[in-house]
Chain A
Amino acid sequence: QHNMLDSSDAIARSGSNPFQHLEKSAVLQEARIFNETPINPRRCLHILTKIIYLLNQGEHFGTTEATEAFFAMTRLFQSNDVSCHLLIKSVLTVSLLNSFMVFYSLTKDMTGKEDVYRGPAIRALCRITDTTMLQAIERYMKQAIVDKVPSVSSSALVSSLHMVKMSYDVVKRWVNEAQEAASSDNIMVQYHALGLLYHLRKNDRLAVTKMLNKFTKSGLKSPFAYCMLIRIASKLLDETEGGHDSPLFDFIESCLRNKNEMVVYEAASAIVHMPNCTARELAPAVSVLQLFCSSPKAALRYAAVRTLNKVAMKHPSAVTACNLDLENLITDSNRSIATLAITTLLKTGSESSVDRLMKQISSFVSEISDEFKVVVVQAISALCQKYPRKHSVMMNFLSNMLRDDGGFEYKRAIVDCIISIIEENPESKETGLAHLCEFIEDCEHTVLATKILHLLGKEGPRTPQPSKYIRFIFNRVVLESEAVRAAAVSALAKFGAQNDDLLPSVLVLMQRCMMDSDDEVRDRATFYMNVLQQKQKALNAAYIFNGLSVSIPGLEKSLHQYTLEPSEKPFDMKSVPLATTPITEPKTEIAPVATSKLPEKLARSRQDIYQEQLAAIPEFQSLGPLFKSSEPVQLTEAETEYVVRCVKHTFARHMVFQFDCTNTLNDQLLQKVVVQMEPSEAYEVIHYIPAPSLPYSQPGSCYSLVRLPDDDPTAVSCTFSCTMKYLVRDCDPNTGEPDDDGYDDEYVLEDLEVTVADHIQKILKPNFGAAWDEVGDEFEKEETFALASVRTLDEAVGNIISFLGMQPCERSDKVPENKNSHVLFLAGVFRGGHDVLVRARLALADGVTMQVTVRSSEETVVDVILASVG
């Protein structure tokens, strides 16, 4: 008896889920009762539920199985007993006959008397409809959108929205009906109508503006619709760069007083995310968020503190008023809220509170998700920049975090943070490197290991005791994957090149690496071995410390081209475009980061893209590789009829000026657009390439080709006066149809300057000293200047960098605080491929005195630089 009880118990337990052991084939077997007459609705229903459950669990139905099941279901449908509206798209693939029947039946339902069927019927119908069929039901859809039953109207509006992607042109014709629905009393209909209207009009800024005006005045009832309006308004403000005196801003601000929390929060969040908000404009938004901090609803507290965290990044002082509320959230049982509260406090609090807050974080850091750990690390990173003196506390904390478990994003954030501390604070270098060495002893992420090895190679040889890093590096060669071994070999070589007393041991280790099983590792070892054995500083500088400075995609293309056209000449490295130094973006995001799921691709640089675009124009094909492209220069004011900006492309002996023009008049079509240029110096304009046509708001480009003066290589600067000339054809603003004939017109643009910076490409020399020795003092010149108008060293450094357009090396662009003198190192390549290095010694007295030393492999280049500085 006992046994029986047991087994019945087991049955009861497994039976607790009626769908537990469903077999697909058995269910399909059961589905045959769909064919029986009379039909048993209850049983059919149960079987349908089973099928759905199976689909939901990821069970896959093959085409034949699906066909059979659906065929059976069509019967159900025929029998009129289970009115299955939707056998839908899959049925369509089964046979056209079926689809007609389903279609017919659904159409009947959607226009039928039974209101409760009509909404679902419309939604189902739109799922299976294609553009042609949609036209067939267009009349019904229009009626349904304005139907007095809210569920019907909502279903029709939402379905129309889904159809916009596929059949924009058809749905566009329903704008009037949607407009009518927007004034419905039902809050959901209002919301759905607004959403559809916006989707149909979002590319027409004028229509969006009108729509906003109308709805912000009429006062909607739906809080969802309000949120939507706020988003549309803030997007429009952003696009039109509307000032904060705009009525749109007033509207958003007025929503802070809405009685629904959802709307209030949306408005506060919109204001916080606006660029260029002043502290005063932020204040009302911050105070509603402050109230939300003490809400009993976790979601609201979370939303509030997340948004305050955002504010604290740009305006820490605006959030200080909430410090007390944030302190209370530190103990919130929701750790996400607690983390956000602490990281916000770290940004707004004083230096003295840092230690306490750090201690509090460490008490629960293991409980929070990786996403929030990254937030913590980023907050620490920001703190280190703010309070450099706290770096030892932070470094300790980070090294503990580095030992904990965590995913790649988290570890990368920590490593990046440690590296930036090392770079900012020379005295933390050794501790930081030691932590990183420990980390790579047991690091599963190849990317991080190679990054750290690279850093060790760069920084290690210059520490007081370089030998202690060798062991960590060589361990990698023994234990790791190919990519890490190769990176370790490169790092080793740098130690050998920099430290003479280590060279013999490095050579021995290198010898071992030459027997590696991987080609890349062996090749690197052999190469470095041979370079090191020469014991020549210039070779070390060129091949070990500073490496290649060409663009990798450019090199690939040039080599490919070279192999296509066999030639006796050796391959010329100078024909390869240089790599543009990536602009390091200031770190702004410290909020929870959406981790991208896509692997990072090697992004093509802006210059590679220009190179390709220009090469496609026949007139520019003989110019050789593109040397440098400038940042775009605006030649018009922001709010003018035509907006023109220019990108200066420098080639070995020519310059190409690319004018990107936009016509902002919707009643004009411009044709044959050129920008005529009058040079002030011996520059010669040899060719204009017009933009054939410039319709309203579609940007187009025209080009001018200019030859640089050959006889005077020192003539590096020139001013061009520019005039845009074109043929105007007036057109109908609504249809865009132009008149048959037009007239010539012109428009004066601002002057365009070419300066010395346009002739120099930035090159980063990771080891400036080595590069300085490599170039040698054959063409060295030195001069002293007084910069009377400059008041600080920072300002002087900034001016020199932007004037010469060269790359600061060894982080010499950062002037340490409270110093009266500074040395700035700049590196670049002059047009034609000559390396040029500048050392500027700055001293602050009454103004700044600057002693400039220039070295290059070419004498004229040195003269050009000194002449232009003076």
Chain B
Amino acid sequence: MDSTSLEPSLYTVKAIFILDNDGNRLLSKYYDPELYPSMKEQKNFERNVFNKTHKADNEIAFLEGMTIVYKSSIDLFFYVVGSAQENELMLMSVLNCMFESLSHILRKNVERRCLLDNMEGVFLVVDEIIDGGVILESDPQQVLQKVNYRLMSEPAYGFVLLDYITGNLEAQTDRSQLL
């Protein structure tokens, strides 16, 4: 690891995921196509991270060469992953923004059932905070302004949702080409 060679770049976040208290994935996005390109590797990584972090709420860990900041609430675990050289506080600001925004749209009930019932809002929030690994917004108020508006009108929801679908499919096709 050569930490001097941290290339100046806006690509800060490598991955984000939300797991339940059995370590099952509820939402996850990987922004670096070279990091765990297959679903199997991703789930292995999530499993490993979960096993090492779910017992103690330590906020930060270093695993598989990656800095991971995390937070738990009742039966949910939120993770933000960055490279070993990344500024830990930048990752924390993403994690805090995600947590506070979600806490607001879930009306402080940050737990599994409520999250699943508002899944569309969760997808929207994550997409407004990170775009392709770049921090798009770190102020929960701003995120909520954009998202709340849209929660009122279903039409608007289509945007990001489909963005999500195509993003995933895209990654899938890339992967199948790789194999």
Contact = CB atoms under 8 A, between A and B. Distances in A.
A19 B116 contact: yes
A867 B59 CA distance: 68
Contact of B169 (A45, A61, A228): A61
B1 A591 contact: yes
Contacts of B52: 369
Contact of B162 (A84, A158, A231): A84
B89 A192 contact: no
A281 to B, nearest CB: 15
Given A120-B163, A231-B6, A261-B89, A56 B63 contact: no
A71 to B, nearest CB: 13
Given A56-B27, A154-B136, A298-B60, A371 B65 contact: yes
B132 A158 contact: yes
A48 B165 contact: yes
A522 interface: no
B88 to A, nearest CB: 4
A845 to B, nearest CB: 45
Interface hub of A56, A77, A88, A224 (most chain B Cβ within 10 A): A56
B89 A262 contact: yes
B177 to A, nearest CB: 12
Contact of A592 (B1, B42, B91, B119): B1
Contact of A158 (B10, B93, B166): B10
A336 B84 CA distance: 14
A369 B62 CA distance: 8
A695 interface: no
Interface string A236-254: 0010000000000000000
B158 A116 contact: no
Contacts of A127: 163, 166-167, 170
Contacts of B123: 49, 52
B10 A83 contact: no
B136 A158 contact: yes
A298 B150 contact: no
Contact of B60 (A52, A224, A232, A334): A334
Contacts of A16: 112-113, 116
B84 to A, nearest CB: 5
Contact of A372 (B62, B93, B134): B62
Interface in A329-367: 333-336
Interface in A611-637: none
A51 B3 contact: no
A262 B158 contact: no
Contacts of A595: 64-65
A400 interface: no
A604 to B, nearest CB: 21
A816 interface: no
A669 interface: no
A273 interface: yes
Contacts of A85: 158-159, 162-163
Contacts of B27: 56
Nearest to B149: A116
Interface in A46-67: 48-49, 51-53, 55-58, 60-61, 66
A123 B4 contact: no
Contacts of B168: 52, 55-56
B157 interface: yes
B59 A89 contact: no
B161 to A, nearest CB: 5
A100 B65 CA distance: 43
A58 B135 CA distance: 25
Given A117-B156, A235-B8, A298-B59, A86 B166 contact: yes
Interface stretch (A299-307, A385-393, A676-684, A713-721): A299-307
Interface hub of A73, A90, A155, A300 (most chain B Cβ within 10 A): A90
Contacts of A273: 3-4, 6
A42 interface: yes
B60 A336 contact: yes
Given A90-B170, A161-B134, A299-B89, A56 B158 contact: no
B28 interface: yes
Contacts, number: 240
Interface hub of B1, B83, B150, B166 (most chain A Cβ within 10 A): B166
Interface string B1-44: 11110111110000000000000010110000000000100110
B100 interface: no
A362 to B, nearest CB: 20
A60 B56 CA distance: 35
Contacts of A73: 162
Given A18-B117, A52-B168, A297 B59 contact: yes
Contacts of A589: 1-2
Nearest to A69: B165
Nearest to B34: A597
Interface string B113-125: 1001101100100
Contacts of B109: none
A192 B112 CA distance: 34
Given A82-B155, A116-B150, A123 B163 contact: yes
B64 to A, nearest CB: 7
B62 A592 contact: yes
B132 to A, nearest CB: 5
A595 B149 CA distance: 44
B89 A161 contact: no
Contact of A76 (B43, B88, B158, B164): B158
A312 to B, nearest CB: 14
A297 B57 CA distance: 12
A17 B28 CA distance: 17
A33 B163 CA distance: 20
A151 interface: yes
Interface string A576-611: 000000000000010111111000000000000000
Nearest to B3: A273
Nearest to B2: A589
A262 B93 contact: yes
Contacts of A84: 158-159, 161-162
Contacts of A275: 4
Interface in B133-165: 134-138, 142, 146, 149-150, 154-165
12 contacts: A82-B157, A84-B159, A90-B169, A90-B170, A109-B159, A116-B146, A121-B159, A127-B163, A162-B132, A232-B8, A262-B93, A334-B56
Given A41-B154, A202-B8, 9 more contacts: A19-B119, A51-B165, A82-B154, A116-B149, A123-B163, A154-B137, A188-B138, A334-B56, A592-B62
List the 4 shortest-distance A-B pairs measured between CB atoms, nearest first.
Answer: A594-B65, A195-B10, A298-B59, A88-B166
Interface of B: 1-4, 6-10, 25, 27-28, 39, 42-43, 52, 56, 58-66, 69, 83-84, 87-93, 112-113, 116-117, 119-120, 123, 127, 131-132, 134-138, 142, 146, 149-150, 154-170, 172-173
